[in-house]
């Protein structure tokens, strides 16, 4: 589904990502780990197209997206829950969800049930302004907005950061049910090891913008965690 090949990316003069190669298949939740500032968000933005690749390639469903703009990537079925959520505070909850629909491939004006089924509180708040929601509710909204686009690839950037435990559990359930359906690929950047171990099928650890380690759940042992992830 997603193949990132020898990607180099950064901001202005500074190169952040070097030679990053990874892939994600349908039904898989692939986790991106690494200490603060190693480049996880930069990689998400590069896959979404918000940052241009300087070298290397981003391929999705066999098509080369490397030079395609973010809007085109969304239309092709890449959904994004950005770090910090990026809810539009002046728009209502419903309008925020509709934005996901417009950005992606959903049927115009019809929010798919699957986008909000898992977050039953959202439809009860449709008329409220996004900015008036709690952090956890905004995270649910960001998730629903991405699911409204009916993505085949879902990019999740630290969805549990600063979120109350009950909503973390909801997010865990949503990820598990998406995996169980088997069609959507998930790339998840997350600091909580407990969380990624509970949903992850394969792991890449970044260090200074490069893939320093990769492997399956059985290989992600205490030694690896101490070496690459312990602060
Ligand atoms: N807009 C920007 N302009 C310049 N440098 C930036 C910008 N955003 C991030 N960086 C730098 O890029 C590097 C990687 O940052 P990035 O946010 O991708 O890391 P991260 O692994 O997602 O970290 P965190 O876990 O803290 O979110 C850091 O050194 C950061 O200071």
Give the tokens for residue 133: 């929601």
* DSSP one-letter string for 45-105: HHHHTSS--SEEEEEETTEE-TT--HHHHHHTTEEEE-TT----TTSBHHHHHHHHHHHSS
Question: What distance in angstroms lies between residue 209's CA and the mean position of ligand 1's atoms?
Answer: 10
Contact status, residue 197 vs residue 220, Cβ threshold 8 Å: yes
So what's the pLDDT on residue 110? 77
Write the residue with the smallest CA distance to atom 23 of ligand 1.
Answer: 37
Whether 41 is in the pocket of ligand 1, judged by its Cβ within 6 Å, is: yes
ipTM of predicted complex = 0.96
pTM, 2 dp? 0.95
Beta partners for residue 202, in sequence order? 30
Whether 46 is in the pocket of ligand 1, judged by its Cβ within 6 Å, is: no
15-30 pLDDT tens trace: 999 999 999 999 999 9
At residue 168's C-alpha, the angle toward residues 208 and 24, to 5°, is 50
Write the residue with the smallest CA distance to atom 16 of ligand 1.
Answer: 39
Question: What distance in angstroms lies between residue 54's CA and the mean position of ligand 1's atoms?
Answer: 17
Contact status, residue 123 vs residue 96, Cβ threshold 8 Å: no
| Residue 142: pLDDT band with limits 50, 70, 90 | very high
Whether 11 is in the pocket of ligand 1, judged by its Cβ within 6 Å, is: yes
Instruction: Report the number of distinct structural domains present in the chain.
Output: 1
So what's the pLDDT on residue 107? 63
Task: Read off the CATH number of the domain in which 189 is found.
Answer: 3.40.50.300
Among the residues of the chain, which ranges form H helices?
Answer: 40-48, 70-75, 93-103, 113-116, 135-148, 165-181, 193-199, 222-228
Beta partners for residue 154, in sequence order? 79, 186
176-222 pLDDT tens trace: 999 999 999 999 999 999 999 999 999 999 999 999 999 999 999 99
Question: What distance in angstroms lies between residue 15's CA and the mean position of ligand 1's atoms?
Answer: 11
Give the tokens for residue 60: 């999705």
Whether 45 is in the pocket of ligand 1, judged by its Cβ within 6 Å, is: no
List the domain range (segments joined by +) for residue 70.
2-228
């Amino acid at each position: 589904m997603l193949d990132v090949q020898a990607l180099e990316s950064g901001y202005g003069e500074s190169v952040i990502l070097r030679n990053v190669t990874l892939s994600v298949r349908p039904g898989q939740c692939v986790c991106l780990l690494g200490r603060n500032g190693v480049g996880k968000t930069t990689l998400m933005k590069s896959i979404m197209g918000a940052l241009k690749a300087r070298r290397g390639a981003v391929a999705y469903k066999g098509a080369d997206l490397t030079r395609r703009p973010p809007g085109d990537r969304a239309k092709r079925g890449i959904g994004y829950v950005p770090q910090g959520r990026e809810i539009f505070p002046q728009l209502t909850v419903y309008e925020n969800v509709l934005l996901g629909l417009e950005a992606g491939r959903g049927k115009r004006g019809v929010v798919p049930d699957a986008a909000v089924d898992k977050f039953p509180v959202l439809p009860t708040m449709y008329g409220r302004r996004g900015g008036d929601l709690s952090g956890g509710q905004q995270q649910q909204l960001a998730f629903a907005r991405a699911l409204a686009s009916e993505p085949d690839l879902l990019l999740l950037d630290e969805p549990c950061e600063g979120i109350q435990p009950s909503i973390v559990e909801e997010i865990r359930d949503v990820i598990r049910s998406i995996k169980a359906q088997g069609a959507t690929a998930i790339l998840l950047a997350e600091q909580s090891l407990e969380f990624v171990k509970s949903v992850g099928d394969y792991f890449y650890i970044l260090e200074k913008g490069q893939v320093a380690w990769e492997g399956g759940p059985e290989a992600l042992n205490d030694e690896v965690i101490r070496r690459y992830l312990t602060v």
